[in-house]
Amino acid sequence: MKKIALIILFGLSAGMYAQVNKNVTEETKTTTTTVDNGTEKKRTVTTEKTDKVQDIELKNADSNKLNKDIKETSVKVTKSETISGDGIPTQIGSTTYYTMNGTNYSFVKDKKGYKISTPENLNHGVLRKTSNNNYIYKTENKTSFGYFDADGNLVVETYDNDGDGVMVEKYTPAKKNLID
């Protein structure tokens, strides 16, 4: 009886593991710089890590066709840079790229949340975490509330004084061709 239970448990866990449909690419670039000022040599190691995660979805998933085409989905890109001088590593920040209405946004992680920039405005806004795991989204013009949905999109909700309602904006992870 124990063997049957273990076989069933093993089969279920293998089945759940097989359901992970993600395409993950990790790149790490390390640069070592040595400066000799005549009295001592200082060595600095800079490590730049880029992670790209893409959900894999099939076109016509319900069809009986054996070989199915893959549907193009967005790629979430996260970059982080670590500088180590004299053996003390310091992480500068990780960057995630999003897009909304044709504009690209960079979300750079800092101690309090994220700093948001666009190609036109390096200080577009900030995203600060609240006590209930949501975020306060602050720009020059507005203060809103936001959260990340199950698909990794940033959903920002802003109260509209004129219409007496809530405006919803959705930032989606940038597609690969927008950032490469």
Instruction: Please write the tens of the pLDDT for every residue from 120-175.
Output: 888 888 988 888 878 898 988 888 998 888 878 889 999 888 877 888 999 888 76
pLDDT at 177: 40
Above 60 in pLDDT, residue 90?
Answer: no
The mean per-residue pLDDT over the stretch 39-44 comes to 78
- % residues pLDDT > 90 (the chain): 1
pLDDT at 7: 66
Contacts 24+ apart (CB under 8 A), 23-27: 23/52, 23/53, 23/54, 23/55, 23/56, 24/51, 24/52, 24/53, 24/54, 25/50, 25/51, 25/52, 26/50, 26/51, 26/52, 27/52
- pTM of the shown model: 0.50
